Structure 1
């Protein structure tokens, strides 16, 4: 891709008796650049970077004039040229791609190509909404929207994968509004990573912990919604990445402990208000989660000093069997299975 030969394109025949050594040296130093390179706005633009620049419209493109000559990246993997309106980066693995605007600013602040995003692997693209933009890099994708994101934010790894399963920026979570950040006590598993989204939810990842929720005893990913309803304060959904097991954890309000058993349909609606419904949830899983929820609501007694019967969080495990309704409402059976907690 890089600097082509500087050899003269035509043989120069000179008579040694008429030329001094100094004159010959001067001819070599002043050799013109190869035809693949062009002097534009006083800067040499070369190879694949030049080809990309021309394909975009050259100086009439948003990039404008080059402001530097082509330079090698510090890691030695590629080359770049800066322009008035952005940059073009090239590597043998990714090709040449322009980077500009808010996405370039965020990429630069995260370490350029030496950061965890690496080199760009495609040009910036418009999102289906016609307003936002995205650009894919080796390590993830930056997303930007003029009013919804407060700058550009990268979607990476497991968090980005789960976000994509729910429809990317056009899905249940909307655009990312923060970068990834450290989050304490993910699924009672200790520290993890989280990211906030346009519609108020948070997607989280945890390496796991033996003392965590069963779904997070090893690596897990999930999300937290904040229903903001009278009976439900928080709804969490987790998936274990090794076993595929999923669970729902409902944190009731004080009114929820007291009154949620008065209307099951309303309780179910509140659990999923502002919280994405789990994707690919089978009817059997819906049934067992609903029955466990109803059992917890029915038996949410306040025991002095010890707290609420069944705990302060209603843990609903999708892998539990779909038992008859009597098993989750009959006091004797509930005493034995503890809202299916003791049922495998």
Structure 2
């Protein structure tokens, strides 16, 4: 029986597909072979943990010899195996990664894989400065530097997002020097950083509390190194909006001297903290006009009691009204530096 050319072409295609499939299966078999258990220093190492261990040069690498067998983690899902130089942790969601040193110590102090950080999702990496280290976990990233970070500290959540927007450890704030802690005075979670003692904060906000710094959820930063004229500069951004509030907290010298030197006072405010990102020219002009209004209008009614209040609050969403209208004493009686 004569076979048609069309049928021959179909058979050839099917044969080619079988060959490709067999080749792919062979490749998978070769790739999977390192996962078979291996005896290292008298202990069995296997599976994904062995693959990572081989990648790190086995017993001649930083992990050294295994000191126990693979163990189940308390969550009933993940695995771990301890080595002389650290521990490899594995879960189906995160893969296998070693944890060691100061970063491993901080991770352990926060509850290991059962804590807020969860499992490691990457190996420890060297930062762009060539000195510091970081390791990413499911819930955040732990940073460490031998001289700048005061140990290892996690960065996560809203504070982590804001820190990243300003350039991570190489940006305006530097390395974290503390974990997040609750600041009762400002009703916020606060974390300190290495550059000039700057702090980043997050607050859930409280619309029912007239004394609350943030009436709704906010994130921001503050500089409290202090100058002759100002105690602190605080910048708040309301989450879900582009609204920025700047709070300048003057000293007595600031209240007195800023009246005749708006620009010098403005420069002192921004010597303590980074100028907020995303402020356009009109918003900048409005902030400066509000600042000048507070400076020009400030009057001490009783010792230590100023008519502008203890802070000069500048709101980015207010329109620019022009410097003359902002600082005119008659106009100021009407708008009181808030012309919303």
* 8 A Cα contact 1:218 1:242, kept in partner: no
1:208 paired with 2:205, answer yes
> Would you say the 8 A contact 2:205–2:212 is kept in 1?
no
Please give the alpha-carbon distance, in whole angstroms, between the structure 1 residues aligned to 2:238 and 2:211.
10
Aligned in 2, Cα 1:217/1:35: closer, same or farther, shift over 3 Å?
closer
**Paired position in structure 2 for 1:3:** none
Which of the numbers 247, 252, 273 marks the counterpart of 1:275? 273
Distance 2:226 2:130 in 1: 31
Counterpart residue number, 1:64: 64
Please give the alpha-carbon distance, in whole angstroms, between the structure 2 residues aligned to 1:153 and 1:81. 24
Matched-pair contact (CA < 8 Å) for 2:35–2:47: no
- 1:332 Cα deviation after fit: 1.2
Map residues 1-344 of structure 1 onto 2, 5 A cutoff: 36-186=36-186, 191-199=187-195, 200-210=197-207, 211=209, 216-304=214-302, 307-339=305-337, 341=338, 343-344=339-340
- 1:31 aligns to what? none
How far does the alpha carbon of each residue in 1:39-58 deviate from its partner, in whole angstroms, 9 at most, with x for none? 11121111000010001100
Q: What is residue 30 of structure 1 aligned with on the other side? A: none
Q: For the residues of structure 2 that align with 1:238 and 1:228, how far apart are their CA atoms?
A: 18
Instruction: Work out whether residues 227 and 272 of structure 1, in 8 Å CA contact, stay in contact via their aligned partners in 2.
Output: no
Whether the 8 Å CA contact 1:216–1:239 is kept in 2: the answer is: no
* 2: CA distance, partners of 1:77 / 1:129: 37
Distance, in Å, in 2 between the alignment partners of 1:42 and 1:331 is 85
Give me the whole-angstrom Cα distance separating, in 1, the residues matched to 2:272 and 2:169.
16
Structure 2 match to 1:16: none
Cα drift, residue 308 of structure 1? 0.2
In 1, Cα distance between equivalents of 2:101 and 2:230: 41
Structure 2, gaps ≥5 residues long: 1-33
Unaligned ranges ≥5, structure 1: 1-33
Please tell me whether the aligned partners of residues 215 and 247 of structure 1 are also in contact (alpha carbons under 8 angstroms). no
Deviation at 1:306, TM superposition (A): 8.1
Count of residue pairs brought into register by the alignment: 305
Distance 2:226 2:283 in 1: 25
2:206–2:212 Cα contact (<8 Å) kept: no
Quote how far apart the aligned CAs of 1:305 are.
6.4
Partners of 1:102 and 1:144 within 8 A in 2:
yes
2:30 aligns with none
* CA shift in 2, pair 1:252/1:185, >3 Å: same
SS of the residue corresponding to residue 261 of structure 1 reads coil
Q: What are the Cα deviations for residues 248-305 of structure 1, in whole angstroms up to 9, with x where unaligned?
A: 0000011001111222221111001131110111111110110111111111110026
Q: After the TM superposition, which of the residue ranges 219-228 and 159-168 deviates more from structure 2?
A: 219-228
Q: 8 Å contact 1:209–1:218 — kept in the other structure? A: yes
What is the CA–CA distance in structure 2 between the aligned matches of 1:291 and 1:35, rounded to whole Å? 67
Give the 3 Å change call, closer, same or farther, for CA 92–141 of structure 1 in structure 2. same
Q: In 2 relative to 1, CA 160–213 (structure 1 residues): closer, same or farther, beyond 3 Å? A: farther
Q: TM-score scaled by structure 1?
A: 0.86
Cα distance change of structure 1 residues 215 and 247 upon mapping to structure 2, 3 Å threshold? farther
Residues of 2 paired with 1:72 and 1:305: CA distance?
Answer: 67
What do the CA deviations read for 1:219-266 (whole angstroms, capped 9, x no partner)?
Answer: 111111124211111000001103331100000011001111222221
Rounded to whole Å, the distance in 1 between the matches of 2:259 and 2:329 is 15
Kindly indicate whether the alpha-carbon contact (under 8 Å) linking 2:159 and 2:219 is maintained by their aligned counterparts in 1. Answer: yes
- Give distance in 1, aligned partners of 2:61 and 2:189: 39
